Amino acid sequence: MRDKVTSWDQLPVLLTVWPETAAILRVNKTRAYAMAREGAIPGLIKLGRRRYRVSRDVLRRWLEGGGQEAVR
């Protein structure tokens, strides 16, 4: 996410935890992965033992709803 993104539609459908989701949530790399391990990021998809992706659309709905509860 080096280029400035101005629209959700410019993001890939599946986001990486670092740097994409971390930038959206405005957290650092360590916190982003801790949130992923804790299940605190909605729309999290685990790929294998150590790879994660986050659903752009689920994350967007969660943030637009105030980010109160994780949606699984």
Domain ranges, ordered by start, for the chain: 12-64
| pLDDT one-digit tens code per residue, 13-71 | 999 999 999 999 999 999 999 999 999 999 999 999 889 999 999 999 999 998 766 54
Span 2-20, average pLDDT:
86
Cα gap 6→44, rounded to integer Å: 23
Cα gap 58→27, rounded to integer Å: 18
